[in-house]
Amino acid sequence: MEVGMVVVVAAKVLVSLWCVGACCLAAYLYRVVWVAPRRVLAEFRRQGIGGPRPSFPYGNLADMREAVAAARHQLAEARRRRRARDSGDGGSGAGIVHDYRPAVLPFYEKWRKDYGPIFTYSMGNVVFLHVSRPDVVRDINLCVSLDLGKSSYLKATHEPLFGGGILKSNGEAWAHQRKIIAREFFLDKVKGMVDLMVDSAQTLLKSWEEGIDKNGGTIDIKIDDDIRAYSADVISRTCFGSSYIKGKNIFLKIRELQKAVSKPNVLAEMTGLRFFPIKRNKQAWELHKQVHKLILEIVKESGEERNLLRAILLSASSSKVELAEAENFIVDNCKRYESTAVTAAWCLMLLGLHPEWQDRVREEVQEVCAGQPVDSQSLQKMKNLTMVIQETLRLYPAGAFVSRQALQELKFGGVHIPKGVNIYIPVSTMHLDPNLWGPDVKEFNPERFSNAQPQLHSYLPFGAGARTCLGQGFAMAELKTLISLIISKFVLKLSPNYEHSPTLKLIVEPEFGVDLSLTRVQGKMSMDKWFMSTSYGYVVSTKRQHILETLKVNACQISEEPEIVCQERGSQHTCMMNML
């Protein structure tokens, strides 16, 4: 009897403790998820900054998902109608609009119209300040204080991919990592990597040439995987040296890892816990371990061989950093290569859509290289190509946001920002602001970059301020190398199979890939090249007929029926002769 009473009492005590614990947990969650964010939002309301009303416990997440679902449904319907009325004029690019915001980020567009260029919203207990007012963006970009750090949102979700690397770290840890890695991306070192980039492109070029030859002179191809393989090969060669083939296997696993962490884990972000034992998380952490192991194997195999990975490791180790931390630093900072590949795909799509710019770039490459291999000096002279890439990055920046977090209370442009608030600057909104870029802001016009660099707050493809991407010089060299080689060998057209549908995963990328129709460049020779390669010469003139007659006379020495095509640009005439 007494034993039974003891059991009953013990059970009651346990139930009471469980109830007390549950109540405490509920009170804690209510305070963290609801009360604390409401206080922050109230502070912004006192400053006249509005935003959508959050719901418990997920904030505005339901509104965002609903808006995205509606936008995707509208896109699918638009594609269906376009296919139904398609008369076979595929590849013309008709209907392509270079503004992905209504489809990819529809909720931001609605809130910006409702609340202005600065507004708040919530994801669970995380408060965001969305900023697209130029003066505030400028002040944020000029801030060099370590009190303005990288946003911690998605840190738990992305932990297997980025770890504690330079993309996600803050404070002294970030400053230390940046100092180590910056020296490896100085301009003189990037110049020395161009030959490796040219070597990496050969597999792609050969594959496309063989495909064209096997298919009667034209091939339709989805270019994304080939471009991605090129980018992985470039980083493998520069990072891993002679072990680059093994290094390429690492990037295949990183691609899988990116897919695994591309969707936010809302519960992880709300609680701060790094791991929920669901299938996707288990896969991500297993891939993380595999990548870590492979990279460290390469480090050990490379011995004293000089490559980027070895240089960073030596710098980190000599900085009184524990070896384990140095290894983690290397692993975390080698897990990104996708952005450059996606930018290259967008750029080739735009060149296929705009043959006039494709011709200008091709002519420039032929003139600058003059039959010699691409090198760092020739890349610096390719102004038209640089403008095309800059315009591509304006219309299709890889990163949708510049994200920061107030690690202490801060003030920008008269706006007081409480500690812990995440600050998101929408890159596409800044890039498509007609007040900053003019009325043709949604059109592809590389000429806008011909005379001056854009203002600090208006152009953000590589971020801005103290956390500007260290690898932007490397990325530009990689892009210019690949595109100059492709344009010099192939004529690009949009394939009838191309579906224009930008989507936001980790970065903004083509949802269905980029489909192009490729043919070989015919053997055309400009007047400058004719003059350099023959002894006949010509008289430079702004009179088209004079140039044409001169070319015909000299061309007849080697061709009975020369095909000559002239283009007029203002008072200048460029004549091209088909040598085949």
Query: Which residues define the annotated binding site?
Result: 469
In whole angstroms, what is the distance from residue 296 CA to residue 246 CA? 12
- Contact at 8 Å (CB) between 506 and 530? no
572-578/563-569 β-pairing: antiparallel
For strands 508-510 and 502-504, give the pairing.
antiparallel
C-beta of residue 299 within 8 angstroms of C-beta of residue 254:
no
How far is it, in rounded angstroms, from Cα 49 to Cα 415?
9
Peptide bond into 57 cis (omega under 30): yes
Separation of alpha carbons 146 and 353, rounded Å: 43
Residues in the chain: 580
Cα separation, 386 vs 477, in Å, equals 10
Rounded-to-integer distance, Cα 91 and Cα 354, Å: 11
Structural contact between residues 564 and 551, judged by C-beta atoms closer than 8 angstroms? yes
Q: How far apart are CA 277 and CA 84, in angstroms?
A: 45
What are residue 119's DSSP bridge partners?
130
> CA-to-CA distance for 479 and 379, rounded, in angstroms?
10
Q: Angle CA(317)–CA(322)–CA(327) in degrees, nearest 5? A: 70
Q: Which residues contact 394 (CB under 8 A, 6 or more apart)?
A: 431, 437, 459, 461
- Alpha-helical segments (H) within 241-278: 244-260, 266-271
DSSP 522: P
Strand 422-426 relative to strand 126-131, pairing: parallel
- Is residue 344 within 8 A of residue 483, CB to CB? The reply is yes
Binding site members for heme: 469
Which single residue is written with the structure tokens 């006949």? 536
C-beta separation of 349 from 514 below 8 A:
yes
Dist CA 500 CA 404 (whole Å) = 31
Provide the token pair at 575. Answer: 């004549």
User: What would the two tokens of residue 217 be?
Assistant: 């002179």
Is it true that the peptide bond before 418 is cis, omega within 30 degrees of 0?
no
The one-letter amino acid code at 402 reads V
Q: Are 444 and 96 in contact (CB under 8 A)?
A: no
Tell me the C-alpha to C-alpha distance, in Å, between residue 422 and each of 41, 139, 462. 12, 16, 19
- For residue 118, give both structure tokens: 């600065």
Residue type, 365: V
Q: Are 576 and 526 in contact (CB under 8 A)?
A: yes
